Chains A and B, each alone.
Chain A
């Protein structure tokens, strides 16, 4: 198993550009989520999904869209990037009803200039 994979590892965007951060898992996990990590603030939940076709907002959803068309994939879309979205983004997954452990991807470092 590859676990949770994220692409790209690094990305630089200009203000106003759009992009999609990819997240995939091959463990058949139902639950997937996106966090952002900023200095001095820990990780904060952006969006999460409890299964294909079901998504919901976390703590800091503004400026981000998600969709979940398959169990394996959970992309995060930035429609119009802003400097405030400069951060490290982590995707995580877990099997619902089988314990609380989440499996994190390696992260994507995004810089918006």
Chain B
């Protein structure tokens, strides 16, 4: 079974600054995906970024980037130029690559990020 751990229950950052959220995972699988989801107060789950384990290059989506360290089983999210709208709960999630195309996600506990003006 896979486990995902987010050791920072809460974080805060000043607007326009950079913040990094941590995530570690444990798995014996070699083919998998990793995700960061954002959950604002509206409760909607929003995909921020994804990383395929077979890709060495770190994924980037505008102000969001990841630092994927496969050997260390670490998957941190960096948010640059933080904006007030980035205030949300952030979840790290793991998905095993399954032959039947299934999509079972294992989530971490979440990190509540607050961006201060």
Taking Cβ atoms with an 8 Å cutoff, the residues of A that contact B are: 30-31, 33, 35, 40-45, 48, 50, 58, 88, 90, 92, 94, 96-98, 100-102, 104, 106-107, 109
Contacts and interface: CB of A to CB of B under 8 A. Distances in A.
Given A42-B107, A42-B110, A100-B50, A31 B102 contact: yes
B76 to A, nearest CB: 17
B45 interface: yes
B104 interface: yes
A40 B9 CA distance: 8
B64 interface: no
A110 to B, nearest CB: 13
Contacts of B91: 42-43
Interface extent on B, as a size class? 20 to 34
B73 to A, nearest CB: 17
Given A40-B9, A100-B95, A45 B104 contact: yes
B104 A104 contact: no
Contact of A94 (B9, B93, B103, B107): B103
Contacts, number: 64
User: Which applies to chain A's interface (DSSP): helix, strand, loop or mixed?
Assistant: strand
Contacts of B35: 100
Contacts of B104: 33, 45, 48, 58
A75 B103 CA distance: 18
A100 B103 contact: yes
Contacts of A97: 101
B15 interface: no
Nearest to B95: A100
Contacts of A31: 101-103
Nearest to A101: B47
A30 B101 CA distance: 10
Interface string B4-46: 1010010000000000000000000000010100000011110
B75 to A, nearest CB: 14
Most buried by B among A42, A50, A96, A106: A42
Contact of B107 (A30, A44, A98): A44
Nearest to B46: A104
